[in-house]
Chains A and B, each alone.
Chain A
Amino acid sequence: MTAGEPAPASLPPTGLPELDPDWSRLVTTSEAHGVDRTWHILDNQEPDAELTLLCVHGNPTWSYIWRDLLATAPEGVRVIAVDQLDMGFSERTGTIRRLAQRVEDLAALTDVLNLSGPVVTVGHDWGGPISLGWALTHRDILAGIVLMNTAVHQPEGSSGPSLIRMVRMPGVLRNLCETTPAFIRGTISLSRPRPPKAIRDAYEAPYASANRRAAIATFVEDIPLDEDHTSFTVLADIAEGIESLADVPALLLWGPSDPVFSDLYLRDLSQRLPHASIHRFVGAGHLLPEDADVSAAIYPWLSQLAEDGPQHTSTQERASLWSAIDDRADDNGVAIIEMGSRGQSRSVTFNELHNDIEHVAGGMADIGIRHGDRIAILVPPGIDLAVCLIASWKIGAVVVLVDAGLGVRGIGRALKGANPAFLIGIPKALAAAQTLRWPGRRISTEELSHGKKRLGRILSSLSELRARGAPASLPPAPAPDDVAAIGFTSGATGPAKGVVYRHHQLQAQRDAIVDLYGIQSSDRLVAAFGPFALLGTLMGIPSVVPSMSVTAPGSLTAGALADAAMAIHATMVFASPAALANVSATAGDISDAQRAGFGDVRLLLSAGAPVLPEILHSAVALMPHADAHTPYGMTEVMPVADINLEAIGEANDGSGVCVGKPLSSVDVHIDPIDTSGETSGTLTQQSEVMGEICVRADHMRDGYDNLWLTQHRASQPSGWHRTGDVGHIDTEGRLWVEGRIAHTIVTSNGVVTPVGLEQRVVRLDGVALAAVVGVGPRGVQQVVVVLTMTSGTKSGLASAYLARSVREVAGDVDIAAVLVVSALPVDKRHNSKIDRARIATWADGVLSGGRMGKI
């Protein structure tokens, strides 16, 4: 490889989009032997900067990639983005510059710029190691590091090295990188969505000739893959060195759709910088600053460095998650019964369960599962799930729990985000994991033949773990502040988000539910609701899982529920609304004996979606002594509030759904929404004020997994969880939910929330389902009611009579149009959550002259 011809530095041509010419300047540094080098840098030259961002681009880009950071820099933040020597508009030195040289170059530049700190480095691609090399030698002024789609090491399993070797093959490298602009164009074409032509041209602007592109080839050549490479030890030193930056705040921003720097590299970096905040911009790729709004993450992250981050440390000593099992280690009473489809059932006593957990935990430790390792558990509710979960917790592993309702694609995305080191599953789940390349070394719940194990690349099985386990040698138990679990949001809007819980938070959740429903050791539970299936076991009470399909809760029949209740003389039944709906529908099919099986049930609990009172009523008709309750909450905090059937009846006319009074252990405040639809940021407890519902409790989530920005936004003010629901607290202290904040309609007369009006419309004769949505620009939106009728009516404009009836119940809210359709789209996982966003988009089209079509 040869160096290009020398050429002086220059300023970029004027007129490059989004680039302010005032940012550009030329700076001259002195190299050893008295050689001068001239750089082109972007510098907002903020006077009296309290902080400086030092941004280093990769290959084959230039400082242009950082233009948005300059454009959006807050007061007091100086942003310097350099064009590395031989790159961008900096001097073509006529030399070949290796990693060590480039780190020295950058140091020479910051000396001339007289940077005195504090400095936060920002590096993308191969700008990452260079910025880190600089960071390691400037610890005195270093205040933080930000890295995007970069690497300091080639992690095992990456396709990166083979790609790089391919590019470096004789004849390829120069053609690809130097003699043609193919590499630049290829890199820019990775950006999604494709940037406008003017922006693509701007990236190419400094690389117009082969000579100007020479360094692009030498940069590729400088990636060390073997030990005898010039830069190998330099990079290895940096990789090792950053592990000493534990006291330096770090932010890792990632575009996972990167053909080279995949999640493997993110994992490698996060292991070296375990304290780093991480945000994965799902859907974004290699050119992250082009694909995602990285400024929106970096600046809030910088500003919170000054403050203390939200601390969710335990405030109260609580029993461990497995203590109820330990307490009953000698109890020969039944702990869990799994009802089979044809009267067959499987059961385990507390004593057996305890022993099994100890052995499996020992086996897990023995095969190398360590404290902090993530284990995805793809096992349906029942004995195996309880064993896997509690055994994992005992050895300090972090369980990753993915709801089957997310669907195969959703599960895959969730697992790729959580990136578990191990995956325990039933054979069906393991087959999917292999085919779809889900992460994690696979462990089977069932014993498989040697051939099958090899074929399916199965590491171990539950029975093997059990056999290997020596309970005496269990590693130390985790501390309350250790991470225990990652669950997932429904993903109704965008990809499902991983929600992180620490041990003390799950302990608090268990205790909150015990307290709320007065659960005693004499209670016996029918667990027909996935997320709560393990609650009984954690509380040390006998549980039974009825025969039903996990993916189709609507398949639970009254007979199956009754058989389960009879098996343990149940006092409590937990079931999803969809399951209860089918139970009501099949109530006529059960025998008197089965009916009598519900005689001891004192509590019926249903959650997970809005629960229709009619369904609770007909379910309660089966269980004459049951008090029917429905808690309100979300993956991040559950429960927040609770209401029983009687109270629902008393609160049936208001602007929203009454979800009852908050638990005594939960603070519920409102962040008022003003007439322009914006929240104020100041919470209030005042009644009858509409706004975003904000919640604080010991049993709330710790944060979101690898979603620093999401977590930051959802945690304002510090220590609270913003639910994204809007509602109000009434004068009696009851909480009312009026819809999602994203579904509020901002008219010129103020904000309209959908749920209250939808409920009044649904009560009109002949109306089955209704959605209230806004059309037009926020601020002047018009309110539109889209509804379905109980008897199939033709789609189109509502009759004059129906429109008048809807407007009557709407009161002061002006309804621009009432439209009748044959079906409204609902969210699959929560069968009754209406997809208002989709309906709004459809209505927007129809009401501006578009076709009716299907929603």
Chain B
Amino acid sequence: MKVLVTGATSLLGGAIVRLLVDRDDAVSVFQRGPTDLGVAETHGDVADAVAVRRAVAGADAVVHVAGLVSTVGPWSSFERTNVVGTRNVVAAALERGVGRVVFISSPSVAHSGASLVGVGAGRANPDTARGNYARSKAEAELLALDANCAATAVVAIRPHLIWGPGDTQLVGRIVERARSGRLAIVGPGMSLIDTIYIDNAASAAVAALDRAPEIGGQAFVVTNGQPRPVREIVNRIVSAAGLEPPRLRVPFLVAKVGGGAAERMWAARDLAGEPPMTRFLAEQLATAHWFDQRETRAKLQWSPHVSLDEGFVRLEQWFGSQQ
């Protein structure tokens, strides 16, 4: 199968490419700059319809990973990359008669801020999604799934909190803050949170690609199916990096108010990077997020092959090899 992977410089994009190469699929990638993945490359911006159309040409399938992931930033940048970018990829796929499209989405598209306790995927809803990122992904998922048709099967995969060696989003930030002594636990840190180890997220995306004709038009949350209290996850990540667990505690309300202030400050001064806390993040850390994985596993015919324990062993080894 000839597969185009967008956003291949991301942790998940790279892992999907390696998985597909390993099983001898003909893989090409599309992103803004060069990679060291050793496959055919086209460079460009997903918001550029012409560039996207060129990249999609000749592919049997597209795995659309590219996206802007951030807790802050103006709506226009999220809309440009996540909504327009996805519209371009889907339009090109339909136009070129690409048989399968897997869109990498996020569970936050159906999340309105309340605790998620053993729930299914639910329908994406831009009106209730929290923050610009989630809203843009919700719009993108809806338009992608709407495009599902007999000729082009479109499936959305929503991995929840991907982590693993090389992850700059979750692991990177936690470890960086722990090193500088700025890491704090929000509230009691007892909320159960489900995550997914990077290799499992990649294999789920590939499973979705393989099953696409049978499951077109549907969205699936994918996780390790092993929720843990948020503090346990943070502690284990920090321990894997050889650091002491955080001692600082911030009450939820303080975090939420402080997060709001930080967001406004970052926005007002146009600061680079991300603020240490946002309201969205504070909420995420104080509410449970775990999912009913039965339908996901049955329909994708997939299950995570790397357990949490095994994942943390690999993370620790990776940190060891980095020194």
Interface residues of A (CB under 8 A from B): 748, 775-777, 779-782, 796-797, 800, 803, 814, 816-817, 819, 844, 846-849, 851-852
B239 at the binding interface (Cβ < 8 Å): yes
Contact B287–A849 (Cβ < 8 Å)? yes
Contact B286–A748 (Cβ < 8 Å)? no
Docked pose: A781 CA to B290 CA in angstroms: 10
Contact B225–A748 (Cβ < 8 Å)? yes
Docked pose: A844 CA to B239 CA in angstroms: 27
Contact A782–B187 (Cβ < 8 Å)? no
Distance between B163 CB and nearest chain A CB, rounded to angstroms: 17
Q: What is the number of contacts between chain A and chain B, taking CB atoms within 8 Å?
A: 73
Contact B192–A816 (Cβ < 8 Å)? yes
Partner of A797, one of B117, B229, B239: B229
Contact A852–B235 (Cβ < 8 Å)? no
Distance between A805 CB and nearest chain B CB, rounded to angstroms: 14
B192's nearest neighbour on chain A, judged by CB, is A847
Which among B235, B287, B288 has the highest number of chain A CB atoms within 10 Å?
Answer: B288
Report B116-131 residues with CB < 8 Å from chain A CB.
Answer: 117-118
Q: Which residues of A contact B192 (CB under 8 A)?
A: 775, 782, 816-817, 847-848
B227 at the binding interface (Cβ < 8 Å): yes
Docked pose: A814 CA to B290 CA in angstroms: 14
Contact A847 B229, CB 8 Å, known A797-B190, A852-B190: yes
B188 at the binding interface (Cβ < 8 Å): yes
User: Besides A782-B118, A797-B189, A816-B226, 5 other CB < 8 A contacts?
Assistant: A748-B294, A781-B118, A782-B290, A817-B229, A852-B188
Partner of A817, one of B190, B252, B286, B292: B190
Partner of A779, one of B235, B291, B292: B292
Docked pose: A780 CA to B188 CA in angstroms: 24
Docked pose: A817 CA to B231 CA in angstroms: 11
Contact A776–B232 (Cβ < 8 Å)? no
Contact A748 B229, CB 8 Å, known A777-B117, A817-B190: no
Contact B232–A848 (Cβ < 8 Å)? no
Docked pose: A510 CA to B239 CA in angstroms: 63
Contact A849 B293, CB 8 Å, known A800-B235, A816-B227: no
Docked pose: A147 CA to B187 CA in angstroms: 55
Report B222-245 residues with CB < 8 Å from chain A CB.
Answer: 225-229, 231-232, 235-236, 239
B307's nearest neighbour on chain A, judged by CB, is A814
Docked pose: A748 CA to B191 CA in angstroms: 20
Docked pose: A851 CA to B231 CA in angstroms: 15
Distance between A584 CB and nearest chain B CB, rounded to angstroms: 38
Q: Which residues of B contact A819 (CB under 8 A)?
A: 190
Contact A817–B228 (Cβ < 8 Å)? yes
Docked pose: A24 CA to B191 CA in angstroms: 50
Q: Which residues of B contact A816 (CB under 8 A)?
A: 192, 226-229
Docked pose: A758 CA to B111 CA in angstroms: 35
Contact B190–A849 (Cβ < 8 Å)? yes
Contact B226–A776 (Cβ < 8 Å)? no
Contact A782 B227, CB 8 Å, known A817-B232, A848-B287: yes
Q: Which residues of B contact A800 (CB under 8 A)?
A: 235-236, 239
Report B249-308 residues with CB < 8 Å from chain A CB.
Answer: 252, 286-288, 290-294
Contact B190–A847 (Cβ < 8 Å)? yes
Distance between B51 CB and nearest chain A CB, rounded to angstroms: 43
Contact A849–B292 (Cβ < 8 Å)? no
Q: Which residues of A contact B187 (CB under 8 A)?
A: 849
Which among B188, B192, B292, B294 has the highest number of chain A CB atoms within 10 Å?
Answer: B192
B291's nearest neighbour on chain A, judged by CB, is A780
Q: Which residues of B contact A777 (CB under 8 A)?
A: 117-118, 292
B115 at the binding interface (Cβ < 8 Å): yes
Partner of B226, one of A814, A844, A847: A814
Interface residues of B (CB under 8 A from A): 115, 117-118, 187-192, 225-229, 231-232, 235-236, 239, 252, 286-288, 290-294
Q: Which residues of A contact B115 (CB under 8 A)?
A: 848-849
Q: Which residues of A contact B235 (CB under 8 A)?
A: 800
Docked pose: A797 CA to B187 CA in angstroms: 13
Docked pose: A395 CA to B291 CA in angstroms: 64
Which among A748, A779, A780 has the highest number of chain B CB atoms within 10 Å?
Answer: A780
Contact A779 B294, CB 8 Å, known A816-B227, A847-B191, A849-B187: yes
Partner of B290, one of A776, A796, A803: A776
Contact B118–A776 (Cβ < 8 Å)? yes
Q: Which residues of B contact A781 (CB under 8 A)?
A: 118
Q: Which residues of B contact A847 (CB under 8 A)?
A: 190-192, 229, 288
A844's nearest neighbour on chain B, judged by CB, is B117
A777's nearest neighbour on chain B, judged by CB, is B118
Q: Which residues of B contact A748 (CB under 8 A)?
A: 225, 292-294
Q: Which residues of B contact A782 (CB under 8 A)?
A: 118, 192, 227, 290
The contact sample of 6 A-B pairs, CB cut-off 8 A, is A748-B293, A776-B290, A782-B192, A797-B229, A816-B192, A849-B191
Q: Which residues of A contact B225 (CB under 8 A)?
A: 748, 814
Partner of B294, one of A780, A797, A817, A846: A780
Q: Which residues of A contact B190 (CB under 8 A)?
A: 797, 817, 819, 846-847, 849, 852
Distance between A804 CB and nearest chain B CB, rounded to angstroms: 9
Distance between A748 CB and nearest chain B CB, rounded to angstroms: 5
Contact B288–A849 (Cβ < 8 Å)? yes
Docked pose: A796 CA to B192 CA in angstroms: 14
Docked pose: A381 CA to B290 CA in angstroms: 54
Q: Which residues of A contact B292 (CB under 8 A)?
A: 748, 777, 779-780
Contact A846 B188, CB 8 Å, known A748-B294, A779-B292, A817-B229: yes
Q: Which residues of A contact B286 (CB under 8 A)?
A: 849
Q: Which residues of B contact A797 (CB under 8 A)?
A: 189-190, 229, 231-232
B116's nearest neighbour on chain A, judged by CB, is A848
Docked pose: A844 CA to B115 CA in angstroms: 11
Q: Which residues of B contact A844 (CB under 8 A)?
A: 117
Docked pose: A435 CA to B231 CA in angstroms: 54
Contact A848 B288, CB 8 Å, known A797-B229, A816-B228: yes
Distance between A678 CB and nearest chain B CB, rounded to angstroms: 16
Which 4 pairs of residues, A with B, have the shortest CB-CB distance? A776-B118, A848-B288, A848-B115, A780-B118
A804's nearest neighbour on chain B, judged by CB, is B309
Distance between A675 CB and nearest chain B CB, rounded to angstroms: 11
Distance between B296 CB and nearest chain A CB, rounded to angstroms: 10
Q: Which residues of B contact A846 (CB under 8 A)?
A: 188, 190
Which among B117, B187, B239, B290 has the highest number of chain A CB atoms within 10 Å?
Answer: B117
Docked pose: A122 CA to B62 CA in angstroms: 65
Contact A851–B118 (Cβ < 8 Å)? no
Contact A848–B191 (Cβ < 8 Å)? yes
A817's nearest neighbour on chain B, judged by CB, is B229
B287's nearest neighbour on chain A, judged by CB, is A849
Distance between A448 CB and nearest chain B CB, rounded to angstroms: 59
B294's nearest neighbour on chain A, judged by CB, is A748
Docked pose: A748 CA to B190 CA in angstroms: 22
Q: Which residues of B contact A780 (CB under 8 A)?
A: 118, 291-294
Docked pose: A817 CA to B189 CA in angstroms: 12
Docked pose: A748 CA to B194 CA in angstroms: 14
Docked pose: A803 CA to B231 CA in angstroms: 13
Distance between A714 CB and nearest chain B CB, rounded to angstroms: 30
Distance between A751 CB and nearest chain B CB, rounded to angstroms: 15
Docked pose: A261 CA to B172 CA in angstroms: 70
Docked pose: A782 CA to B224 CA in angstroms: 13
Distance between A59 CB and nearest chain B CB, rounded to angstroms: 45
Docked pose: A847 CA to B288 CA in angstroms: 7
Q: Which residues of A contact B226 (CB under 8 A)?
A: 814, 816
Docked pose: A780 CA to B288 CA in angstroms: 14
Which among B190, B225, B232, B292 has the highest number of chain A CB atoms within 10 Å?
Answer: B190
A795's nearest neighbour on chain B, judged by CB, is B188
Docked pose: A650 CA to B227 CA in angstroms: 37
B226's nearest neighbour on chain A, judged by CB, is A814
Q: Which residues of A contact B228 (CB under 8 A)?
A: 816-817
Distance between B259 CB and nearest chain A CB, rounded to angstroms: 16
Docked pose: A851 CA to B229 CA in angstroms: 14
Docked pose: A851 CA to B190 CA in angstroms: 9
Q: Which residues of B contact A814 (CB under 8 A)?
A: 225-226
